[in-house]
Structure 1
Amino acid sequence: MESDKTPQQIGKGMWLAAWLILMGILFVYFEDLIQEKYDPNHALSSDDSGEVILKRNRQGHYVAPGLINGKPVVFLLDTGATTISVPKKVADNIGLIGGYKQQVGTANGMIEVFQTRLDSVSLGGITLNDIQGHINPHMDSNTVLLGMSFMRNLEIIQKGNTLTLRR
């Protein structure tokens, strides 16, 4: 059985396949580069040293993966926040229940949140138990603000683009 394809058509198909493979490799390479700039701590390891070293992202923030009650979340460290502020949709996903309503002051004014207690909060190798937080129905992102109710228990050292947290 003879092929209906001419050598020119086969050549064009080979070029197309080569370009698609090249584009795929470039996509993976640049996706990793972009993730490294915006989330340099995405591969934060958990060890028992009681120390976590974070790199600042391109916007100047410290963002890192962590756990609330054993469920994965993304934290944005916020020394200006009194407590851990969990967006409502994240709270719903990890099974948090809101308690009393409370008024809190934010950069955008006063808002109403719901108090909650977090059984455990983990960042890298640091885990603290029974931490105060609140559920914030006004936050649109999936990022949890890791406030001072967690960080006040730690030594915080900032040098250059690095933040070190120690128990």
Structure 2
Amino acid sequence: MADAWLVVIDHQRIFADPASEWCAPRFAETAPVVARLATHFDDRVLLTRWLPGTNRNGSWRAYFDKWPFADRPDEDPFFDLVPTARDLTDRPTVDVTTFGKWGPELAAVTGQYPHLVLAGVATDCCVISTALAAADAGCTVTVISDACAGSSDENHAAALQVMGLYAPQITVLDSATVLA
């Protein structure tokens, strides 16, 4: 995995804060795993952030009607990186208004057909959305199971199972295997 990129998906306050409706219950358990992985990947680490943006067209209107607490300006501190993520890389964050993070912004840094190693939240939303889009685009994807947190343990396990069905384009491994 010498040429792989670690993509840390949405290590933001909105997903880490226990008071948030979107808190991933095991978020805090993943932070040290992500930090170990980042050390291993050196300067090939990218951080993403989900931002609400201003698009309230189509299904996004219903989405923000359901989750009004998240309908804030992009600059709101709720969308800041958590302290444990801030020093993982000197690169700027890749900020997008979609669940899936694979797209022109990431490709501009990683190239068109990279090997992406995914960590972050939520396994059952932004991680799976990123993995499937990247695999469809021809990327090789490795999802680190213990570096991801879902909206619940059950949803985390279900998302990992679904992504595992996409082998060999998507592989699900634990951090010990990757760091060995």
Give the TM interval when normalised to the shorter protein: under 0.3
After TM superposition, the score normalised by the length of structure 2 is 0.23
Q: Judging by fraction of residues, say which structure has more strand.
A: 1
